[in-house]
């Protein structure tokens, strides 16, 4: 498959690209030239530029859209461009180019408002079937990305799988990451499955199989065949204490 990966110089791409290289024909883009892992076409530029986004999408089968601002504490000024304007540009360009599938990097922060059990509509873990409930502005921008993707999917223009990624790191940096940690092999598996899955549109929480998980993975298991193989509990003795990756609210 010919796959365009945006945000290819970023942290998530650094964990993902070695797993896609060799399996797909890759076109990599970012503001600065990303370091390719294996053979790849590298096309740096700004995705806010409509013409650039259109040129990038021409001739690819799928787009893995990772470009964005991943920092939950940032304000609107720094979030709206990368997380609202850029995904709309990419979705529009992909639809125009006849791209078959877009895999959109969303975040567990779209459901982070359910973190306190008292905020949940039902007992048990947080489910993808519940309405979005972001814990922060960042989460709100990711809700927008999913909504924009759904408009394109519903119009029949393209198919989009939104992955509500947990905290992507080689290992959980602290115990505060134990509930949302997403290890590299599970990230790679989720993206690979999202590229092929037989769904028109969906938004799926993706974490590793963490014992202390607050998110339910049933939707991803059912629709994508996602079967995580890693778990944060393996780091119980080595990871230091630290705060949760989910916000505690209070942004307004």
Q: Which of the residues are catalytic?
A: 138
- Tell me the two tokens of residue 65: 């859209």
Question: How many chain residues bind ligand NAD (CB under 6 A)?
Answer: 22
7/231 with CB nearer ligand NAD = 7
Judge contact between 85 and 76, C-beta under 8 A. Answer: no
Q: In the complex with ligand NAD, which residue's Cβ is closer, 80 or 155? A: 80
- Kindly state the smallest distance separating residue 7's Cβ from ligand NAD, in Å: 3
Give the residue from 141, 214, 142, 204 showing the smallest Cα distance to 177.
214
Q: Does 228 bind ligand NAD (CB under 6 A)?
A: no
Edge-to-edge strands, sheet with 2-6: 41-42, 25-29, 2-6, 62-65, 101-107, 159-165, 201-206
Residue 92 binds ligand NAD, judged by CB under 6 A: no
> Which parts of 22-81 interact with ligand NAD (CB under 6 A)?
30-31, 46-48, 66-68, 70
Closer to ligand NAD by CB, 11 or 51: give it. 11
Q: Is 88 in the site for ligand NAD (CB under 6 A)?
A: no
Q: Which of 168, 213, 217, 230 binds ligand NAD (CB under 6 A)?
A: 168
| Under rule CB under 6 A, residue 176 binds ligand NAD | no
Of residues 185-214, which lie at the interface with ligand NAD (CB under 6 A)? none
Tell me whether residue 77 or residue 237 sits nearer to ligand NAD (CB atom): 77
Residue 126 makes contact with ligand NAD by CB under 6 A: no
CB 90 within 8 A of CB 50: no
Nearest-CB residue for ligand NAD: 10
Whichever of 30 and 146 has its CB closer to ligand NAD, that residue is: 30
* Cα distance between residue 177 and residue 87, in whole Å: 27
- Judged by CB under 6 A, does residue 134 bind ligand NAD? no
Is residue 111 a contact point for ligand NAD (CB under 6 A)? no
Cα–Cα distance measured from residue 129 to residue 107, given in angstroms and rounded to the nearest whole number: 15
- The CB-of-217 to ligand NAD minimum distance in angstroms stands at 15
Contact set with ligand NAD (CB under 6 A): 7, 9-13, 30-31, 46-48, 66-68, 70, 82, 86, 105, 107, 165, 167-168
């Amino acid at each position: 498959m010919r796959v365009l990966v945006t945000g290819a110089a970023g942290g998530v791409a650094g964990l993902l690209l070695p797993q896609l290289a060799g399996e797909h024909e890759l076109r990599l883009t970012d503001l600065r030239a990303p370091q390719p892992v294996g053979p790849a076409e590298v096309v740096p530029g700004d995705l806010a530029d409509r013409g650039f986004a259109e040129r990038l999408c021409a001739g690819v089968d799928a787009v893995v859209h990772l470009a964005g601002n991943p920092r939950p504490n940032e304000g609107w000024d720094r979030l709206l461009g990368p997380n609202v304007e850029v995904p709309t540009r990419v979705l529009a360009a992909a639809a125009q180019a006849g791209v078959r599938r877009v895999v959109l990097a969303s975040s567990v922060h779209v459901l982070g408002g359910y973190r306190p059990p008292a905020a949940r509509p039902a007992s048990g873990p947080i489910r993808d079937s519940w309405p979005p409930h972001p814990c922060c502005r960042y989460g709100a921008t990711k809700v927008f990305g999913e909504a924009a993707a759904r408009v394109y999917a519903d119009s029949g223009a393209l198919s989009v799988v939104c992955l509500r990624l947990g905290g992507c790191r080689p290992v959980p940096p602290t115990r505060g990451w134990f509930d949302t940690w997403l290890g590299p092999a599970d990230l790679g598996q989720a993206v690979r499955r999202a590229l092929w899955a037989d769904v028109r549109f969906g938004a799926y929480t993706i974490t590793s199989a963490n014992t202390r998980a607050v998110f339910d993975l049933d939707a991803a298991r059912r629709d994508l065949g996602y079967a995580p193989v890693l778990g944060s509990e393996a780091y119980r003795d080595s990871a230091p204490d630290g705060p949760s990756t989910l916000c505690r609210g209070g942004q307004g």
